[in-house]
Amino acid sequence: MSTAPPGPLLQVEAVSVRFGALLALSAVSLSIHRGDILAIIGPNGAGKTTLLNVISGFYHPHEGRILFEGRDRTRLSPPDVAALGVARTFQNVALFKGMSVLDNLMTGRLLKMGGHFLLDALWWGPAKRQELANRAFVERVIDFLEIQSIRKTPAGKLPYGLQKRVELGRALAAEPKLLLLDEPMAGMNVEEKEDMSRFILDVNGEFGTTIALIEHDMGVVMDITDRVVVLDYGRKIADGPPEQVRKDPVVLDAYLGASHG
C-alpha cells in the first residue's frame, strides 16, 4: 500500500501489566513491522497471552503505550481495536458454537458493513446488496481455508482442529491489517499443524497481512516466522530473526535452564 504511513504497524512501548502482586509484563517493548510474521515465544506464564490481550484491548497496561500506525491506541476497548483492523483468535477457541461455520464467518464481517445498523431496516435494498457482497468475500475465505464441506455445520460440532481453522477464517473475514493468533496450532497433530502453517504463510503471502502469533512448537516457529520475540517472567529477553534467537544463550537458558544447571 502506497498510502501507508512509514514506520512499524504496531509499537508496544515499555508496557507493564500487573495482576495484584504479580507483574505479568514488565516494561516490554517491541515493534511489529508491516508484512512480517512475528512469533512471540516463551515458557508457560511468560506473559505471551497477556501481551496479546493488551494489544487487542482486553487489558489495559498500567504503564507504557500501544501505538497502531503511529497513533496512540493504549486505552481503546476491544471493539474499537477491532475497528482499527486488528483481528485475533483465542487460545481456547472462541467460536459462536451454535452458529453454522458460514454464520461465524459472516459475523467476522459485521464491521465491514457500512452505514448505521438501524437504517438497514428502512432501506432494504442497500442492506441486501451489502449482505451479498459480504457473502461473496466470506465464500472466498471458505475456499481459501478449504472448509467448503462444513460450511453449514454448527461450529460447536466440529473437531478441535477444524474449529481453530474456522476461528482463523472469522478473523480473516474482517480483512485485518494485523492478525493476532494465540497458539493457532495447540493440540493439533502433525498434519493439521502443516495445514495451519501453510494457511498462515498464504495469508501473509497473498494478502500481505501482518501476523503476530504465539506458538510453542519451535519447529513451526523457525519455519514460518520472520522475527521472534522471547518473553520470560514478563520481560523481553530476546528479539531477532529466528536463527539468531535460536542460538541466543539467554534464550537457551530460559528454556533449558534446568539442564544447564
Among 1, 21, 71, 118, binds other proteins (CB under 8 A): 118
Closer to other proteins by Cβ: residue 58 or 137: 58
Among 23, 67, 113, 252, binds other proteins (CB under 8 A): 113
Kindly state whether residue 88 participates in binding other proteins, applying the rule CB under 8 A. yes
Q: Beta partners for 229?
A: 40, 239
Closest by alpha carbon to 177, among 7, 10, 6? Answer: 10
Closer to other proteins by Cβ: residue 112 or 140: 112
What string marks each residue from 57 to 86 as x (binds other proteins by CB under 8 A) or -? -x------------------xxx--xx---
Among 5, 35, 70, 156, binds other proteins (CB under 8 A): 156
Kindly state whether residue 133 participates in binding other proteins, applying the rule CB under 8 A. no
Kindly state whether residue 120 participates in binding other proteins, applying the rule CB under 8 A. yes
Kindly state whether residue 201 participates in binding other proteins, applying the rule CB under 8 A. no
Residues that bind other proteins (CB under 8 A): 56, 58, 77-79, 82-83, 87-88, 90, 94-99, 103, 106-108, 110-111, 113, 117-118, 120-121, 124, 127, 154, 156-157, 170-171, 174
